[in-house]
Structure 1
Amino acid sequence: MSEDRLPDEIVLGMIAQQLAAAMDRPWHVTGDLARGPGSLAVTLGEDHTGHPGHIDINFVLNVDRPGDTTISDCATGYGTTPEETVGRAIEIWLGTTGSALLELLAQDGSFAGHYAADDPDGFPGWHIIHGGITGWGIGDDFQAVQHWAAANPLAPHLAPALEGSFDRDHLIGVKAFFGSDGDSETAEIRVDGIHHEAASEVLAGLPWPRPAEGMSYARTFLLLVHHEGRDATA
């Protein structure tokens, strides 16, 4: 695969196309923005990896107030061409992070699930939206971690390590990426795109499956919408 990265305007166009299809609403690229309906927009973060399939996506709920309405996350795809690799990264983002963000707009359960502040499977004190769970790997047990994540909600396990580490009381994005390939394993929590060491250690200590052969990985996203008794500023 060529190591050349696609130009940002091409990547934004691909994101706009997939969001338009998911929402059945028009999106278009204007300069360094992909603009959606109303105040929605997407920008790209700076290339900090050099990997042609790694993209940093900033989803802006209100383009006039990006400071407190932007949810940032990244994704890395794979494929045989830059277009295929970036397309896969966008699909991964849309199936996890994007599904939670679109559900924030829809509020009807069509994209992702809601957990109330007092739900035992949720995040205590916060209303959260749980994005989709994607998985990939090699071998007979390649879906093992994905299936475990679907049956074992992460939020109540991560909450003690995460509580008190947020710099705002609404729209906190928490990404989980974890799995193993037999010889090594990964367990990473990112909060608004930044690695969270304590929560990552908690994730590493959970009893998700580690297949002896092949590989199995999962990724999911939690959107902490607002603290109990407060409304999201979207």
Structure 2
Amino acid sequence: MDDVRLPDEVVLDKLARRLSAATGDPWAARGSMIKGPGTLGIFLGEDHTGSAKHLDLNFVFNLDRPVETSISDCTTGFGSTVEEAVDRAIEMWLGTTGAALLELLRRDGSFAAHFPADDPDGFPGWHTIHGGISGWGAGEGHDVVQHWLIDNPLLPRLAPALHDALDRGSLIGVKVFFGGRAGRETAEVRVNGGVHEGASLALAGLDWPRKQDGLSYARTFMLLVHPQEPATAANA
């Protein structure tokens, strides 16, 4: 694959078109950003990996208050061409991170699932939106890690390791990516774009399947919306 990065305006236009199709709302690439409805915007981060298949996306809920309303995440695609890989990277982001962020705008369950503060499968004390669970790999059983993640909620298992990451009162993004094969596993948890070492170690210690041959990976994204008393969970 010719590893030449697509121009930023091409990537932004691709993502804007996908967002418009998914939401029915107008999203358009304008200069260095995508402008969405109201105060929404998305910026493409700098190329810090050297890989044309890798994208850093900064989603801003309120362009007037970017510091406290931004959610940053990265995504990588694969394919025989750079364009195919970027399309898959966008698809991966939309199905996981994007789904959770768009659900915060809709709040009707059409994009992602809601977990109130007292839900046993949620994050204790926080109203959480859980994006989709994507999986990929190679060989027989390439989806075993994805199916494990569907059957084993991560939020309550990672919550103890993430207590020091709750450093702002709302909008904390938690991305999880893990899998591989036995002896060559990857387990990474990112909080608002940065790797969280403690949660990554906790994830690595869980009993998800390690394939002896082939590959199996899974990715998901959870948005901790705001702290919430269990008694008020039904009103979120």
Q: TM-score range by the shorter chain?
A: over 0.9
Partner residue of 1:164? 164
Partner residue of 1:129? 129
Unmatched segments (≥5 aa) in structure 1: none
Partner residue of 2:53? 53
1:153 aligns with 2:147: no
Letter matched to residue 18 of structure 1:
R
1:75 aligns with 2:75: yes
* Contact kept? 1:176, 1:220, Cα under 8 Å: yes
Residue 216 of structure 1 and its aligned partner are, at CA, apart by 0.4
Residue 181 of structure 1 and its aligned partner are, at CA, apart by 2.5
2: distance between equivalents of 1:67 and 1:188?
Answer: 24
1:73-117 CA-partner distances (Å, limit 9, x unpaired): 000001111111111100000000000001111100011100001
Letter matched to residue 180 of structure 1:
G
1:25 aligns with 2:19: no
Residue 186 of structure 1 and its aligned partner are, at CA, apart by 0.4
Aligned length: 230
1:128-176 CA-partner distances (Å, limit 9, x unpaired): 0000000000111111000010111000011000013232110000000
Partner residue of 2:219? 219
Mean CA deviation greater in 113-122 or 161-170: 161-170
Letter matched to residue 79 of structure 2:
G
2: distance between equivalents of 1:87 and 1:181?
Answer: 26
2: distance between equivalents of 1:14 and 1:120?
Answer: 38
* Contact kept? 1:182, 1:215, Cα under 8 Å: no
Seq. identity, %: 61
Residue 183 of structure 1 and its aligned partner are, at CA, apart by 4.0
Letter matched to residue 96 of structure 1:
T
DSSP-derived class of the 2:147 partner: helix
Runs of 4+ in 1 over 3 A off after TM superposition: none
2: distance between equivalents of 1:56 and 1:172?
Answer: 17
Letter matched to residue 153 of structure 1:
P
2: distance between equivalents of 1:11 and 1:85?
Answer: 11
TM-score, scaled relative to structure 1: 0.96
DSSP-derived class of the 1:170 partner: coil
Unmatched segments (≥5 aa) in structure 2: none
1: distance between equivalents of 2:10 and 2:173?
Answer: 26
* Contact kept? 2:43, 2:57, Cα under 8 Å: yes
CA RMSD of aligned residues (A): 1.1
